Amino acid sequence: MRILVIEDDELTAQALTTILTAHHYAVEVAKDGKSGLALLDSFEYDLLILDVGLPDLNGIEVCRQVRSAAPTPDKPHTPQLPILLLTAYQSPHDRALGLDAGADDYVVKPFDEEELVARIRALLRRASSTGAPMLEWGDLELNPSSCEVSYGSTPLILTPKEYGLLELFLRNSRRVFSCGNILEHLWAYDAPGEEAVRTHIKGLRQKLKAVGAPADFIETVYGIGYRLKPLSNAALLTSTIPTSVEQEVRSKLGAVWTSYKERINEQIAIIERVACESDWTLQASATRQAHTLAGALGTFGFTEGSQIARNIEQILAGCPLKPRALTQLQELLATLRRVIDVPASSSAPICPEVTPAIANLATVQLPSILVISQDRDFLDALESEFLLWNYQCTIATTAKAVIKICQNDAPSLVLLDLDCFDSIATSMALLTSLQQCCSTIPTIVLTSHNELTERLEVSRHGGRLLLQKTTPIPQVLEAVSQVLQRALPTPSKILVVDDDIALLDALTVLLSPWGLKVYTLNDPHRFWETLETVSPDVLVLDLEFPDFKGIELCQVVRNDLHWHHLPVVILTAHSESETISQVFAAGADDFVSKPIVGAELVARILNRLERVRLVRQILDTDPLTGVMNRQKSTQELEAFLRSSDRSHQSVAIAVIDVDHLRSVNAQYGHAAGDAVLRQFGHLLQQSFCSEDIVARWGGEEFVIGMYGVTREDGVQRLMQVLERLNQQALTTENGEIVHVSFSAGVAQYPEDGKDLKTLYRTADLALRQAKRLREETHSQHTISSILPAESDVVLKS
């Protein structure tokens, strides 16, 4: 756990650092309030210890600024950061000032070490998902007081960082932590790289496994980070984890309601001061609180409470309030108190009925890897690394088993050890079989040799990436990750803007099970910077904020050249036709009435995402051939080059021209030429795997991007396409058979160019050479590449 101490007295700061470090906390010290606020803006902490008597900016003012700050996507919990005040003042008034400014607790100087540490533990416990002094997860127990850890009855001996890592997970048992999050929580200024986190995770898993814990006790969430593996129903003592998504969502909503019930009561208390004490200065605030309650209560299942709050809002809107209205207001408040004290029992559906296409759009599957090898040492090393990456791994040792697995449950990626079989011919035959039965599955090949002939054989038989068998296992998994990132879908991002924090947490619970990445913002003044930081796929806006309206934010989005296409969904507690007309007039795509019904909101957002997918498909795809267009492929190719720099892999860029297309147009008509291009584009899509880039750049010109492929391998792959083209005839719309050929040029990154423009020119130059050679030799089709020494490598068929 990471603690920031803001203390100007060097001796006190050193004493605090010594005490807290001894209890396995990571400590950073700031000497004044301004420096402390700067650190809070830059890093995430679990607790703030704050001296009151600071120079320039005193501790009370620092506390106020922390509490008034809006959450950001990378530091969403800063406004709720637990704050412990250190004060030399002992009067009740001085302590009250600190607590009113937002502090959670205080300790009077000179402090007692035991009391200080106990209060810190209490604050961290209150802020975490567990309130128990002893942290438990199944058979694992961690005692923060004695820093002792045991699994069952067996004690665990951990390093300080392993202890801190385990405590972090136990205090936030439902949260997923990225490597960056863990670094911020457990290290101070001298934080190491993310590899250090993986090393500590690996060591901790091994120690847990040694005392009987499951190997995946600490679970990897693909593409996100790490968390404690959810307990089975039998392992829970006080409650059960629901098996269905709907039950789980209801359970989480209940937990959110419990955490915010005190705040709800405070909102009702403000309204009661107007109704019972006739405090008219609070009437505007009370109206706002009633409006917020009307939207939030129904979301948590209190449908009647939501209606009562709406009636209260209507009464408070009148000015001045007559005695009869005050009486009615008091009666409604008493009823509202009774309603929210009874557990919610909403039967409204949470999970919508959606089409399979839309459901698949929101679901991100964990990748499965098929490993083909008989090397036991290699498999053991690979298995331990797979735990860090959370890949579903299947091992096959025979060709027959491989084909059966691919046909029954196709993996996301195949990892083939060429030494698995007695002869290279057997391995090549298996590669060919994989290409025939599941050509879209990328295959990474590991080999003990480094000859060009073997590389060419792998390329000819469908291998997509070739690595040396001596490559360290972590680098092999990095290569697997990069290939999968290009082949698998990424979660859609939703930005929800509402000033009701309880409602934001509820919406996060409702939307997250659908594979959506939810970002929330409760301060509309930070809307624009958050929008540009998050870059969401769908924007959800509340209709009303204290200073301006959601409609105005919607209009700002529609008036911006970059964001005008962004889908906007408005949340509104008003369903009058006039309000709805204003919503659509402002440019919103849809609206959802408060109180929010989970199923309706999810369905509307998923429908918006489906529309986004269709629009992007239209914008990114060449309408004639169905492959990528020039604009989209340029973005993807640039990404290839950046990834190549990080992983030191080559990239092959091919430029292809369909030969004699003008003759086809002249003889059969342009409709026939279009049919030829359409079928040729389909052939290219079939011939290259999903992570390769296939694009039409105009006319009869196509561009191919192949990651992890050399110039020679690229030429061989195009030769395979030529062979397939020779084996099938293209037909016009009238059924007439047309025989076509193509010429191509290939360039390699970074040898033939450091940027896409240069690579294209090099490949285009090779293409022109290939065309000249075809004319000179009367060959049907040629493929050419230019080596750095400017000598030609030309293959003819």
Q: How many helices (H) and strands (E) does the chain have?
A: 28, 29
Tokens describing residue 689: 């795997």
Lowest model confidence (mean pLDDT) among 238-242, 314-318, 491-495:
238-242
With 90 as the cut, is the pLDDT of residue 6 above it? yes
Tokens of 482: 């990069």
Q: What is the pLDDT of residue 589?
A: 86
pTM exceeding 0.75: no
Is the sign of the CA dihedral 773, 776, 777, 779 positive or negative?
Answer: positive
Per-residue pLDDT reduced to its tens digit, 261-270: 888 888 888 8
In degrees, rounded to 5, the angle at the alpha carbon of residue 287 between the alpha carbons of residues 285 and 291 is 115
pLDDT band at 324 (very low <50, low <70, confident <90, very high): confident
Kindly write down the DSSP assignment for every residue of 126-180, as one continuous string: HHSS---SSEEETTEEEETTTTEEEETTEEE---HHHHHHHHHHHHTTT--B-HH
Share of the chain above pLDDT 70, in %: 82
Q: What is the 3-state secondary structure (H, E, C) of 326-342?
A: HHHHHHHHHHHHHHHHC
3-state secondary structure 270-289: HHHHHHHHCCHHHHHHHHHH
pLDDT in tens, 597-607: 666 677 778 77
> Given this model, what pLDDT does residue 239 score?
33
Note the pLDDT of residue 757: 93
- Contact in structure between 746 and 763 (CB atoms under 8 Å): yes
Cβ burial 632-652 (10 Å sphere, 16+ → b, else e): bbbebbeebbebbeeeebbbb
Q: How remote is the C-alpha of 647 from its chain's centroid? A: 22
pLDDT band at 357 (very low <50, low <70, confident <90, very high): very low
Decide if pLDDT at 586 tops 90.
Answer: no
Residue 382's Cα: distance from chain center in Å?
25
Q: Which of 393, 457, 401, 399 is nearest to 433 (CA)?
A: 399
Integer CA distances (angstroms), 117 to 60, 123, 411, 487, in order: 22, 10, 51, 49
Q: Which residue has the higher pLDDT, 486 or 63?
A: 63
Rg (CA), the chain: 32
Contact between 539 and 521 (Cβ < 8 Å): no
Cα 82 off chain centre by: 27
β-pair type (392-396, 368-372): parallel
Band (727; pLDDT cuts 50, 70, 90) = confident
- The residue-averaged pLDDT of 562-581 equals 83
At 789 the pLDDT is 35
| Residue range 451-466: mean pLDDT, rounded | 72
Residue 95 CA from chain centroid, whole number: 42
Buried b / exposed e over 566-589, threshold 16 CB at 10 Å, is bbbbbbbbbeeeebbebbeebbbb
Question: Is-contact 282 290, C-beta < 8 A?
Answer: no
For residues 394 and 455, the model is more confident at: 394
Q: What is the pLDDT of residue 190?
A: 60
The beta-strand segments (E) located in 306-400 are 368-372, 392-396
Chain mean pLDDT for the chain: 79
Q: Is the pLDDT of residue 636 over 80?
A: yes
* Beta carbons within 10 angstroms of residue 114's beta carbon: 10
Q: For residue 7, which of 161, 159, 116, 96 has the smallest C-alpha distance?
A: 116
Is residue 322 predicted with pLDDT exceeding 90?
no
Token pair recorded at residue 773: 């050679």
- What's the rounded mean pLDDT across residues 478-504? 79
Q: What is the pLDDT of residues 75-121, one digit of tens each?
A: 555 667 889 988 876 666 777 777 778 888 888 877 778 778 888 88
Residue range 51-72: mean pLDDT, rounded: 81
Task: Classify strands 83-87 and 47-51 as parallel, antiparallel or unpaired.
Answer: parallel
Q: Which residue has the higher pLDDT, 757 or 325?
A: 757
| DSSP string over 580-619 | HHHHHHTT-SEEEESSPPHHHHHHHHHHHHHHHHHHHHHH
* Residue among 723, 684, 689, 721 nearest 708 (CA): 689
Of the given ranges (50-59, 296-305, 381-390, 687-696), which has the lowest mean pLDDT? 381-390
